[in-house]
Chain A
Amino acid sequence: MSIKLYYALPSPPCRATLLTIKALQLEVDLVPINLVAQEHLTTDFLKINPFHTLPTIQDEEFYIWDSHAINCYLVDKFGEDDGLYPRDLQRRAVVDQRLHFDSNVLSARFAAIVSPILREGARIIPKDKSDALLQGLTLLESLLEKSYYVTGNTLTIADFSLVATVSSANAVLPLASNRFPNIFEWLARMESLPYYQEANQEGLDAFATMLKSKHLVRQASAVK
């Protein structure tokens, strides 16, 4: 029985897991979940994940959610080597810190902007929320000053989580390339991965289309 991935293509964390799956060249049953039709709230799905979040994976009788936990698990279990999630404690700790930076800072601040839009019909991107996200991105910009990828000069699952979030943020805000040159160089590097189009770009395009249809207004920011 192969791995099952319950996902929605536009969702950034789902795309982070898709990037991991493609990088590992894993055969996975992709099970799309239609959030608008509330398929994540069916009795069957709640049995799998009572928190009804995506992505969720099923590996035989084992279910796990949260894209960061999933991606660590997939590399440890199926990776031919540990490149994407090093076993060396210090290198792993740096990947872990970047993964938590994605969940606690960038994804959280991005969700604070997008959730009201998608769930409550908000049309405004408040200045304080976009400033908070830009502040987080400023830190990422400095982390990329001296390295090709977010933890150093090797691609890891931290890059997958962060590129899904940052590319999605860029579709909503969008970011000034002269303010974030390192981030844009890194984005280009990630876009050149052979599986990027299928694993992230397609879903990103769907996400961007969905948000464009909302005709959002961004409150003018004093932060340049």
Chain B
Amino acid sequence: MAPTLYMIPPSPPVRSVLMTAKALGLTLNEKIINFPAGEHLQPEYLKLNPQHTVPTLVDDDGFAVWDSNAINPYLIGKYAKDDSLYPQDLQKRAIVDQRLHFNGSVAFGAVAGIVRCILYEGKTCLDDNDKTRVEQVYAFLEAFLDDGKPWMAGDCLTVADYNLYATVSAGDVLVPIDGQKYPKVATWFDKVGNLPEAEATKKGLAIFESLISSKLQ
């Protein structure tokens, strides 16, 4: 039986799980959560995830975990043929972990904060503060890539690239990446976007883009 992913297609963290699953050749049973109808606050869902967020993964033995930064390493550990996406080497892994915590707290924090205001608080345009916040994320990522290595955590593609790509692709909708200011980020973004597994994120990203553009003036 395939693991179940509770999700909504446009969510960046959901898209990172879809990308990871595709890279692993893993089929997920996708279940859309109806947020407007309050489905995320129903007792059945709260039992799986008391934080009532998406994505939530329920593995085939009933084990439930949420937060894409925890889900993806779990899926890789369980289903990957090798450890390249989440290295067993402790130093390489520590760098990936640091990038994942950056993704969750700083990068997604910036993007989600703005998106929340647009979707739920009637914000109709981005102000200078918003643009600065997103650009600060790009500046950090440009610095992560400063050593000339091709991927966010070094020489090899890892889950850090997937999770950051999902967040940055949402950021790019809000504040397009300026290739002059952030050339390494722009190159990395195109490279990850052209990976076969990125295909799994495109449908949700298109929904996200139209959601945002329908609210912004």
Mark A residues whose CB is within 8 Å of B: 50-51, 59, 62, 64-66, 68-70, 72-73, 76-77, 89-90, 92-94, 96-97, 99-101, 103-104, 107-108, 139, 142-143
Contact = CB atoms under 8 A, between A and B. Distances in A.
A101 B51 CA distance: 9
A186 to B, nearest CB: 16
Contacts of B50: 139, 142-143
A69 B65 contact: no
Contact of B143 (A50, A68, A77, A142): A50
Contacts of A70: 94
23 contacts: A59-B91, A64-B94, A64-B95, A68-B97, A69-B101, A70-B94, A72-B94, A73-B90, A73-B97, A77-B90, A89-B74, A93-B71, A93-B74, A94-B70, A96-B73, A96-B74, A100-B69, A100-B100, A100-B104, A103-B104, A104-B67, A108-B105, A139-B51
Q: Is the interface of B mostly helix, strand, loop or mixed?
A: helix
B133 interface: no
A84 to B, nearest CB: 15
Those 10 A-B pairs whose CB atoms lie nearest each other, nearest first: A96-B70, A69-B97, A97-B70, A93-B74, A69-B98, A104-B104, A73-B94, A103-B105, A66-B98, A93-B65
Contacts of A101: 51, 67
Contacts of B51: 101, 139
Contact of A72 (B63, B74, B97, B102): B97
Contacts of B81: none
B77 A89 contact: yes
Contacts of A143: 50
A105 to B, nearest CB: 8
Interface size class of B (residues with CB under 8 A): 20 to 34
A90 B59 CA distance: 10
B160 to A, nearest CB: 11
B22 interface: no
A74 to B, nearest CB: 9
A68 B67 contact: no
Task: Name which of B63, B94, B102, B109 has the most chain A CB atoms within 10 A of its CB.
Answer: B94
Interface string B129-152: 000000000001001001000000
A64 B91 CA distance: 8
B143 A51 contact: yes
Contacts of A104: 67, 69, 104-105, 108-109
Contacts of A97: 65-67, 70
B140 A100 contact: no
Contacts of A103: 101, 104-105
